[in-house]
Amino acid sequence: MLTQEQINELLKNKNVCKCSSKSITYSKEFKLGAVKKYFEEGLSPNEIFRDEGFNLNIIGRDKPKECLRRWRKNYNARGKSGLLKDNRGSSGGRRKKLEFKNKEEEIEYLKTKIRYLDAENDFLAKLRGLKRE
């Protein structure tokens, strides 16, 4: 949890877009630059954050390592655009619609789902029975 004074100090850093008591949103350019410095110059996450003016006593000594791990994973999966584009909420919170090759495949899927739900209901009924005892 960050205090208001800590939030104000972080917001002075050009690499911070937003900041609340629970989270820090870093600029996309900083994320990409940090990943490049990590890979190309071999700098440690703490060195990268310190060089960019972050007070590690405020953000925490483990935060740079966590951020770089997440950003590297995203960079390796999606490339440069993975860090420059905001992908949060891109699915609209909806599940992907299942597509079946034919009716038989859909029927088999639905039968399997029914068996699973029946087993889950039986388990929950047994669990409720145990709680009553």
Residue closest to 67 by CA, chosen among 20, 40, 21, 33:
33
- Residue 88 has what pLDDT? 66
- 73 lies in a domain? yes
29 lies in a domain? yes
What angle, rounded to 10 degrees, do the helices at 28-36 and 63-78 form?
Answer: 90
133 has a pLDDT exceeding 90: no
Residues 77 and 103 in one domain: no
**Residue at 90 is within a domain:** no
pLDDT of residue 128: 87
In a domain, 122, yes or no: yes
Q: Indicate whether 107 and 79 sit together in one domain.
A: no
pLDDT digits (tens, 9 = 90+) for 11-59: 999 999 999 999 999 999 999 999 999 999 999 999 999 999 999 999 9
Tell me: the pLDDT tens digits for 56-91?
A: 999 999 999 999 999 999 999 889 988 888 766 665
Q: Between 115 and 129, whose confidence is greater?
A: 115
Look at the chain and report how many structural domains it folds into. Answer: 2
Identify whether 79 is part of a domain: yes
Q: How far apart are CA 73 and CA 87, in angstroms?
A: 14
Residue pLDDT, tens place only, 89-122: 665 667 778 888 999 999 999 999 999 999 999 9
Structural domain that includes position 133: 96-133
- Across-strand partners of 26? 16
Q: Is 91 a member of any domain?
A: no
Q: 64 burial class (0-12, 13-18, 19+ CB within 10 angstroms)?
A: buried
Question: Is 69 found in the same domain as 48?
Answer: yes
Mark whether 19 and 40 lie in a shared domain. yes
